[in-house]
Amino acid sequence: MKRFCARCGADIGLFESANLGNLCLKCYMEVHKLSEPPRTISLTICRKCYSIKLKGRWQAVDLSSEDSTTSKLTQAIISEIERLCKLKIETSLTSREAYRLLSGEPITIKATLSGKVHPALEPLITSKDIEVKCDFSLCPTCLKISGKQFEATIQLRGFDEKQLEQIKFMVNKLIVDRSGGSHNIQTGAVWEEVDGGVDVKLPTADIARRIASLVKRHFKVQVKESYKDAGWDKSKGRPLRKLTILLRSRNT
C-alpha cells in the first residue's frame, strides 16, 4: 500500500508514516522549522574587550581564565548553530582553538547531535564540520569609551595620592567584577588629572553611582550631584543628560 506525505503528496515509507506524522523528511523539517546545520557561522566579538554578542546581548569574557574563555566561546558557538538549525547539538573547543578564534583566525569544529532525535535526522549533523569565524566590532561600553561618549563623571577633590590609589583600586575591581573580567580600568573608565584632583569619566550613570557609593563607604566625603544637557539621544528619542558627581574629601 502506497503512502503519501500529508503535506506535499510525495511518496513516503513506513518509517515516515509512523515516526514523522505522515510527512516526508523535507516537510517534517519545514513544519518544525528545522534545517541542516550551516557550513559556516560567525561570532560577533568586541575587538577591544573581547566580549561576545550572544542572543542580542553582549556577554563578558573572563580573559584571565583559559577555562572560562573556552567555555564562553563554546557556549556562543552552540547557541549560534542551534539558532540557525533548531537542532540540539554538542561541540567542544580546546584552549588553543579559543585563542586562535580571538586572534581572528577561523577554525573548524565538529558538531554532533545532543539528545534523542528521529533517526532520519541523524545524517544531517553526525560529525558535521562547521567553520567558525569572528566578526570584530565594538561593544556599547567600548564604543562609548573610544568615542568619548561618557554619560557620567565623578570628580574626586581633596584626596591625597595614597587615597586616590586606594579609590582607583576599588573602582578597577568593581568594574572587573561587574563585567565578569571583560572590562578593565582602561576600557571601563578614563582617569584625568585636573586642578585640585581627578575626574573619572564613565560610560554609564549606573556605574558612576555604584562607584560613588563605594567611595562613600570608605571615606568621609561631601557629595553633590548635577546634570547637564549634552545633545539629543536619537536611539531613545529624548535629551541626553550627563551626570556629574562631586566627591570632596572632608579630611582636608
Decide the pairing of beta strands 40-46 and 128-137: parallel
Q: What is the mean pLDDT of residues 159-181?
A: 82
Q: What is the mean pLDDT of residues 140-158?
A: 82
Q: What percent of the chain has pLDDT over 90?
A: 33
For 149, the grid coordinates are 561618549
pLDDT value, residue 186: 46
**Of residues 31 and 149, which shows the higher confidence score?**
31
Of 15, 198, 241, the closest CA to residue 118 belongs to 15
Phi, psi of 185 (to 5 degrees): -65, -30
Whether the per-residue pLDDT at 225 is higher than 90: the answer is yes
pLDDT value, residue 123: 57
**Of residues 151 and 219, which shows the higher confidence score?**
219
pLDDT value, residue 181: 54
pLDDT value, residue 105: 94
Specify whether the CB–CB gap between 61 and 181 falls below 8 A: yes
What order do you get walking across the sheet with 238-249 strand by strand? 190-194, 197-202, 152-157, 238-249, 221-233
pLDDT digits (tens, 9 = 90+) for 13-58: 877 777 778 888 778 878 877 767 788 999 999 888 888 988 888 8
**Of residues 175 and 52, which shows the higher confidence score?**
52
pLDDT digits (tens, 9 = 90+) for 86-131: 778 889 999 999 999 999 999 999 888 776 666 666 655 566 889 9
Specify whether the CB–CB gap between 118 and 19 falls below 8 A: yes
Total residues belonging to the chain: 252
**Of residues 172 and 178, which shows the higher confidence score?**
172
Instruction: Using the Cα atoms of residue 141, residue 135, residue 133 and residue 125 in order, give the sign of their dihedral.
Output: positive
pLDDT value, residue 27: 86
- Measured CA to CA in angstroms, residue 120 lies from 15, 16, 25, 30, 247 at distances of 9, 9, 7, 14, 67
- Locate the domains of the chain by residue range: 34-137, 141-249
Q: What is the mean pLDDT of the chain?
A: 83
Whether the per-residue pLDDT at 185 is higher than 70: the answer is no
Q: What percent of the chain has pLDDT over 70?
A: 84
Highest mean pLDDT among 1-5, 85-89, 158-162, 185-189: 158-162
CA distance 87 to 49: 31
Whether the per-residue pLDDT at 184 is higher than 50: the answer is no
Q: What is the DSSP string of 46-98?
A: ETTT--EEETTEEE---TT-HHHHHHHHHHHHHHHHHHHH---EE----HHHH
Q: What is the mean pLDDT of residues 240-249?
A: 90
Whether the per-residue pLDDT at 182 is higher than 60: the answer is no
Distant-in-sequence, close-in-space partners of 17: CB < 8 Å, separation ≥ 6? 3
Whether the per-residue pLDDT at 3 is higher than 50: the answer is yes
Highest mean pLDDT among 3-7, 155-159, 189-193: 155-159
